[in-house]
């Protein structure tokens, strides 16, 4: 059965999208579904390519038992639009930037639409303090949990398994 591939995207791939990648990966591992998902993150800009996530993102994730320190920032590549089933942008500016360079069939969605159901942007915490990063973590955790539940249930029903992911 085909794995579901998800790419989380923010502007520089050092704050929001690495957190989303780490949170979703952690939830997938806890649910025992590692082989069912391919998870990555990228930025619409390349200013930080090769750099680790922002130290505040690393610290926030670590305080919740998630290690994102091994991730490295990268810029979105043309192949990402065909390699990933779902590309989740953190805000409307990211969605607009992606749509300018993506083929029409690319699965670009706003994280706040598909994962939270609220249509909200995930705010960029870069210029804020620890509370800004904690707020982003909380919104991402809520959305990633919901997303995994939805995708996990869909995957289970496709395979004939009636158990749900919790």
pLDDT digits (tens, 9 = 90+) for 99-123: 999 999 999 999 999 999 999 999 9
> Which residue of the set 10, 56, 74, 155 is catalytic?
10
Does the residue 165 lie in any domain? no
CATH classification of the domain holding 146: 3.40.50.2300
Contact 48, 13 (CB under 8 A): yes
State both tokens at 136: 């982003």
Sign of the four-CA dihedral 28, 117, 65, 58:
positive
144 is an active site residue: no
Does the residue 166 lie in any domain? no
> Which residue of the set 56, 74, 124, 155 is catalytic?
124
Task: Report the distance separating Cα 110 and Cα 94, nearest Å.
Answer: 9
pLDDT at 138 over 90: yes
Output helix, strand, coil percentages for the chain, rounded to the nearest 5: 45, 15, 40
> Which residue of the set 15, 16, 80, 139 is catalytic?
16
Q: What would the pLDDT profile of 18-68 be if each residue is shown by its tens digit?
A: 999 999 999 999 999 999 999 999 999 999 999 999 999 999 999 999 999
Residue 129's domain comprises 4-158
109 is an active site residue: no
Q: Indicate the pTM of the whole model.
A: 0.92
124 is an active site residue: yes
Does the residue 163 lie in any domain? no
The structural domain count of the chain equals 1
């Amino acid at each position: 059965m085909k794995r579901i591939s998800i790419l989380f995207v923010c502007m520089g791939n050092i704050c929001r999208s690495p957190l989303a990648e780490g949170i979703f990966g952690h939830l997938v591992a806890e649910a025992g579904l590692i082989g069912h998902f391919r998870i990555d993150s990228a930025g619409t800009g390349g200013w930080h390519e090769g750099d680790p996530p922002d130290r505040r993102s690393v610290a926030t994730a670590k305080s919740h038992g998630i290690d994102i320190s091994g991730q490295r920032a990268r810029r979105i590549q043309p192949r990402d639009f065909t390699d990933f089933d779902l590309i989740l942008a953190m805000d409307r500016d990211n969605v607009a930037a992606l749509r300018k360079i993506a083929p029409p069939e690319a699965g670009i969605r706003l994280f706040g639409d598909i994962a939270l159901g609220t249509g909200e942007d995930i705010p960029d915490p870069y210029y804020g303090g620890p509370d800004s990063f904690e707020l982003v973590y909380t919104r991402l955790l809520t959305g990633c949990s919901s997303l995994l539940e939805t995708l996990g249930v869909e995957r289970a029903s496709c395979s004939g398994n009636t158990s749900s992911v919790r």
